[in-house]
Structure 1
């Protein structure tokens, strides 16, 4: 799936549920919550939770949790980009250019 298709699908799906009505400060809050859930999923995968009130997950279940939580992060990043009329392609191009320019010196050494 192309980034533009992803961005369109996320907007349409979230829009049907009224989730696109939140402003940037609320959206950033949701993004931070989801990043925390990624951190928890990675911890569970890497070292486990070691809590008596939680059952152990298999590595496959733990990996799937990481996949799902990363999807939630991408969804929130996409909606934040939409607020500012920024395409995911523009984000990735700017990111690539920034890193390429920043680390250009390494290639010359």
Structure 2
């Protein structure tokens, strides 16, 4: 599955559950929540967590959690793209063009 196919699938999935209707302003809160979860996943990998309520995870489980949180953030970004009618594939070239302009070789 590529980015465009996943975006279409995701939008359909969200619409079936009445999640798509939320405004971008509300959706931004979901992105913030997912960013916090990504932060926790990276912390677990990089410096660990010394919390009595957390069970110790293997390196594989930590990496799986990191991948899951990155995917959750990607999904939120794809919903933003849909809400604002932006082709997510254009983000790749927009990023590259901005960096090339800012840091010419």
TM-score (norm. length: structure 1): 0.90
Tell me the alpha carbon deviations over residues 7-64 of structure 1, each in whole angstroms, 9 at most, x when there is no partner.
1121112221111110011001100110110000010111111111111111111110
Q: Number of aligned residue pairs: give it.
A: 105
**1:58 corresponds to:** 58
1:100, distance to aligned residue in structure 2 (A): 1.3
**1:89 corresponds to:** 89
Which one is further off, 73-82 or 12-21? 12-21
The answer to whether the 8 A contact 1:7-1:87 is kept is no
* Separation in structure 2 between the aligned mates of residue 16 and residue 96 of structure 1, nearest angstrom: 35
* Separation in structure 2 between the aligned mates of residue 14 and residue 54 of structure 1, nearest angstrom: 31
Calculate the aligned-residue CA RMSD, in Å: 1.0
User: What does 1:43-82 correspond to in 2, within 5 Å?
Assistant: 43-82=43-82
Q: Looking at CA atoms only, which structure, 1 or 2, has the larger radius of gyration?
A: 1
**2:29 corresponds to:** 29
- Any stretches of 5+ residues in structure 2 without a counterpart? none
Per residue, is there more helix in 1 or in 2?
Answer: 1
Misfit runs of 4+, over 6 Å: none
